[in-house]
Amino acid sequence: MATSDDDRIAYLTGEDPASLPADERAALDELRGLLADRSTWEEPRPELEDAVVAAIASEVEQPHAEARRRVRGQRRGRASRGIRRPRPRLAMGALAAATVVAVALLISQTGGGTSKRPLQFAMVVSGTPLAPGAHGSATLTKTASGWRVELAASGLPHLEGGLFYQAWLKNAAGVLVPIGTFNDARHVTLWSGVPVTKFPTLTVTRQRADGNPASSGLRVLLGTIRAAH
Amino acid sequence: MLARGVVRRFRDGDPAAVRTVYRSYGGLVFGVAYRVLGNRALAEEAAQQAFVKAWRAAGTFDEERELGPWLATIARRVAIDVLRSESRRGGDPIDSADDDDPALTTQPPSAEAVYEVWEVRSAVAALPEDEREVVRLQHFEGLTHAAIAERLGVPAGTVKSRSHRAHKRLAGALGHLQ
């Protein structure tokens, strides 16, 4: 029994005792996975403590707080899920997202004159509620190799350590086409093999290098060409 | 375990008690939310909401019970609400995607998985600082004992003994997860 415990501890420390059965190895691998997970080590910013104290103090000070608590208590008996109130910060974010002006300008098109310029669009990109301070622009240019998408956005942190950004183009049916990954959004060149005229929405998601190629759904930037044709 | 009376004062909104509860469980609540959301800013928001919801519901909480698992349950539920809420947000007509849009598909972890995060964080937090750092460097940063020794400026034998002691404590505390 003692030997087995020693083997388990040795396995956790990084050794590979041959006597450890496969099922115990698998169970310990799960524990090792948890010990390697970011959620085990990440800490909130110190400011969160004051924010929590202030949020509760604000509720305490509301004139009818006690009455509302009683009502909630009664409702809790009827429904397993709590009452959901609009969250001010997210509500602001939703408003911002809803009012995103995704301006698209047909900057230039194959001209009728003597000089031929490439088909090119410009797009304003705005931060979603996940990144309300982010904003920027993108230029989308048709080339012989495909569409070059030059994105310049500020207000997004540099990502590394297994985290990265991924850009997507999306059509009206909701089909997503990945157009590249990057760490820093300040100046990025992406390439698309589908026409931006058919896939006019640009999104950027925050991704984790976990072997899953699908979108995380954590969109941080958004913009759309409206006038594309 | 919190001192007697803290939960009652928390329920009354006493700022000092709120701080005490936060300092005891803030990291754990945040960790649970982070496990669900994978995003620091959202996890902080969910953690804040979880504490507010816990305060609102504190009248139903039995002071004899341990507060942690109750807070973990609230944190997971709030984080899943935030996740769903964020996933549904769109910005313009073309982007008004359906819930089955692959861009929006996310599966929150099970209650069991979230509770494991809670337990592992608790066990790690209970380690002495020097042992906790060795465990973090080994598992989270993926360093070898030799690299940890170099990083910390201590002999490799010291790292090995700290690692062994730390993992022995963790194995004892988390035996039921193995």
If you measure CA to CA, which chain A residue comes closest to B167? A9
The shares of helix, strand and coil residues in chain B, as percent rounded to the nearest 5, are: 75, 0, 25
Chain A: closest CA distance from residue B73 (Å): 12
- Closest Cβ opposite residue A56 in set B51, B60, B89: B51
| Inter-chain Cβ pairs, chain A and chain B, closer than 8 A | 208
Looking at every residue in chain B, the average pLDDT score rounds to 83
Q: What average pLDDT does the segment B28-48 reach? A: 89
pLDDT of res. A20: 78
Under the banding of pLDDT at 50, 70 and 90, the label for residue B1 is low
Structure tokens at A162: 């297994």
Beta strand A188-192 with A146-154 is: antiparallel
- Give the distance, in angstroms, between the CA of residue A18 and the centroid of all CA atoms in the same chain: 42
Q: Is A1 on the interface with B (CB under 8 A)?
A: no
Go through A13-35 and write b for each residue having 16 or more CB atoms within 10 A of its CB, e for each that does not.
Answer: beeeeeebeeeeeeebeebbebb
pLDDT of res. A118: 65
Could you give the percent of chain B with pLDDT greater than 90? Answer: 47
Angle at B26 between CA B3 and CA B119, to 5 degrees: 85
Angle separating helix axes B67-88 and B40-57, nearest 10 degrees: 130
Could you give the percent of chain B with pLDDT greater than 70? Answer: 85
Place of tokens 């990109």: A125
Radius of gyration of chain A (CA): 25
Distance between CA atoms of residues B163 and B178, nearest Å: 18
Q: Within the 48-87 window of chain B, which residues sit less than 8 Å (CB to CB) from chain A? A: 48-49, 51-53, 55-57, 59-60, 77, 81-82, 85-87
B101 SS3 class: coil
Q: What average pLDDT does the segment B99-116 reach? A: 61
Q: Is A86 on the interface with B (CB under 8 A)?
A: no
Q: What average pLDDT does the segment B117-125 reach? A: 90
Q: Is A31 on the interface with B (CB under 8 A)?
A: yes
Contact state of A174 with B97 under an 8 Å Cβ cutoff: yes
- Closest Cβ opposite residue B85 in set A8, A51, A90: A90
Q: Comparing B39 with A85, which gets the higher pLDDT?
A: B39
If you measure CA to CA, which chain B residue comes closest to A10? B164
Mark the ranges of chain A whose per-residue pLDDT is less than 70. 1-3, 62-118, 226-229
Complex-level ipTM: 0.82
Structure tokens at B169: 């404590």
pLDDT of res. B22: 95
Chain A CB contacts of B90 under 8 Å are 97
pLDDT of res. A117: 55
Q: Is A206 on the interface with B (CB under 8 A)?
A: yes
DSSP states of A64-121: THHHHHHHHHHHHHH-SSPP-PPPHHHHHHHHHHHT----EEEEE---SSSS----EE
pLDDT of res. B126: 93
Beta strand A163-170 with A176-182 is: antiparallel
Q: Comparing A64 with B143, which gets the higher pLDDT?
A: B143
pLDDT of res. A134: 82
- The CA dihedral of A73, B32, B26, A30, to the nearest 10 degrees, is 140
Chain B: closest CA distance from residue A101 (Å): 9
Under the banding of pLDDT at 50, 70 and 90, the label for residue B128 is very high
Distance between CA atoms of residues B106 and B85, nearest Å: 12
pLDDT of res. B169: 93
Q: What average pLDDT does the segment B26-53 reach? A: 90
Q: Is A60 on the interface with B (CB under 8 A)?
A: yes
pLDDT of res. A229: 33
Contact state of B94 with A24 under an 8 Å Cβ cutoff: no
Q: What average pLDDT does the segment B127-150 reach? A: 93
Q: Is A142 on the interface with B (CB under 8 A)?
A: no
Contact state of A56 with B23 under an 8 Å Cβ cutoff: no
pTM beyond cutoff 0.90: no
